[in-house]
């Protein structure tokens, strides 16, 4: 983040005292929200508003097969939805107010699965996954709807899976940014083992935060669960963004100190 620092003089009683002015970056973090299968951007708007209040540029969108493109529900594939996500990311990154080195992606269920894969195709600094799903690698271009008809899928999600054997987990294993994993305690769609597979795959992250939403189901159908998730996500984003700004400011101050020292050393 481009924290600005400038040495200034302050006039007082006909004299001048020294000061240092620091101000926020000219560009802001970007936050991209990815809804789950059967959801819509409406599920993300409230959290996007809170993230915007932190000083972020936020983007929500509808994957193909949903809302205005619901006619594609039976035919849209993971490949097409990943292209949707790439297009949304590029649109956010192209916003003139966005710092391309400070982009967060927040994915839910199927959206979390796609978000993990996105990190191998675009720079992502912060990745938040809530009840991220897993799917078998084969049949990548088949209609996504058909994947849920696989009678083995529930058992597949209950197995320990090595990152080398799943594209999303391979992406998690390669991710070097900061990650948040949120699990719903009573989730029967995405079982604990699936979340554990992601958690173990995130072995090289800069930081990994894990939270469990008590008494929550996969859809967060209870208002308390929704409130709890929003609180966890916004708190984490605040820590990540404020921490990054503090580090940038510290680097500027230290750099200024070194420059001043070099200017007076013989």
| Residue 19 falls inside a structural domain | no
Please give the pLDDT value at position 156: 98
Q: Which band of pLDDT confidence, cut at 50, 70 and 90, is reported for residue 39? A: very high
How distant, in Å, are the alpha carbons of 43, 120, 173, 198, 241 from that of 103?
20, 14, 19, 21, 10
So what's the pLDDT on residue 88? 97
CA–CA dist 171, 116 (Å, integer): 6
Instruction: Select from 209, 131, 92, 207 the least CA-distant residue to 105.
Output: 92
What's the burial of 68, exposed, middle or buried (CB within 10 Å: 0-12/13-18/19+)?
A: exposed
How many alpha carbons fall within 13 Å on the CB side of residue 45?
6
Q: Scanning the structure block, which residue is given the tokens 């294993």?
A: 173
- 237-265 pLDDT, tens digit each: 999 999 888 887 777 667 656 655 555 55
> How many domains does the chain fold into?
1
Domain that includes residue 37, residue range: 30-246
Is there a domain that residue 147 lies in?
A: yes
Any domain includes 260 = no
- How far apart, in Å, are the Cα atoms of 137 and each of 15, 87, 112, 147, 213? 71, 22, 15, 10, 29
- Look at the pTM and tell me if it is higher than 0.85: yes
**CATH number of domain containing 189:** 3.40.50.1820
> pLDDT tens-digit profile of 66-79?
999 999 999 999 99
258 located within any domain? no
Q: Is position 170 within any domain?
A: yes
In a domain, 39, yes or no: yes
- Residue 202: both structure tokens together: 């995130």
CB 132 within 8 A of CB 112: yes
By the 10 Å C-beta count (0-12 exposed, 13-18 middle, 19+ buried), 184 is classed as buried
Asked, for residue 62, whether it belongs to a domain, the answer is yes
**Residue 177: closest CA among 110, 91, 237, 249:** 237
Task: Give the pLDDT score at 100.
Answer: 95
Enclosing H/E stretch for 209: strand 207-213
Domain-located, residue 161: yes
């Amino acid at each position: 983040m481009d924290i600005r620092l400038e040495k200034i003089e302050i006039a007082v009683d006909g004299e001048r005292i020294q000061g240092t002015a620091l101000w926020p970056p000219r560009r802001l973090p970007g936050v991209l929200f990815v809804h789950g299968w059967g959801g819509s951007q409406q599920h993300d708007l409230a959290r996007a508003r809170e993230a915007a209040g932190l000083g972020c540029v936020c983007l929500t969108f509808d994957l193909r097969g949903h809302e205005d493109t619901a006619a594609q529900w039976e035919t849209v594939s993971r490949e097409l939805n990943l292209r949707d996500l790439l297009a949304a990311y590029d649109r956010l990154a192209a916003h003139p107010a966005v710092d391309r080195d400070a982009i967060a992606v927040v994915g839910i269920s199927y959206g979390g699965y796609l978000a993990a894969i996105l990190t191998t195709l675009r720079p992502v600094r912060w990745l938040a996954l809530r009840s991220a799903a897993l799917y078998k690698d084969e049949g990548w271009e088949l209609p996504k709807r058909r994947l849920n008809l696989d009678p083995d899928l529930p058992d597949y999600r209950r197995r320990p899976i090595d990152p080398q054997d799943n594209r999303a987990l391979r992406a998690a294993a390669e991710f070097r940014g900061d990650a948040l994993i949120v699990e719903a305690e009573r989730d029967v769609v995405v079982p604990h083992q699936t979340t554990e597979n992601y958690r173990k795959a995130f072995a090289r992250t800069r930081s990994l935060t894990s939270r469990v939403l008590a008494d929550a189901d996969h859809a967060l159908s209870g208002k308390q669960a929704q409130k709890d998730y929003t609180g966890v996500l916004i708190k984490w984003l605040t820590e990540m963004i404020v921490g990054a700004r503090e580090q940038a400011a510290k680097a500027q101050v230290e750099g200024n100190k070194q420059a001043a020292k070099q200017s007076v050393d013989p």
